Amino acid sequence: MKLVHGYTLRELLDFRDRYDLKRLFDVIIQIAFALEYAHSHRVAHRDIKPENILVGPFGEVLLLDW
């Protein structure tokens, strides 16, 4: 399993004074694209929550806990 560094969306929302709104929208859009891709392949996540969304140090977004 790949080791990934970053913060969960829950952690970012708890400290949102240090994280701007535009970057939060970018995270949400990337998650929407990931879900669209999964749904087009008939895969459902069924556990979407801020704790399962990881934002890396370079802005990469991962949807965890498949």
Contacts from 18-27 at CB under 8 Å and sequence distance 24+?
23/59, 26/59, 26/61, 27/53, 27/55, 27/61
Q: What is the mean pLDDT of the chain?
A: 89
Query: Model-level pTM?
Result: 0.82
How many C-beta neighbours within 10 Å does residue 66 have? 10
6-19 pLDDT tens trace: 999 998 888 866 66
Catalytic hit among 14, 20, 26, 47: 47
Total count of residues recorded for the chain: 66
C-alpha to C-alpha distances, 38 to 18, 26, 34, 66, nearest whole angstrom:
31, 19, 6, 10
- Residue 14 is a catalytic residue: no
| Mean pLDDT value across residues 19-43 | 91
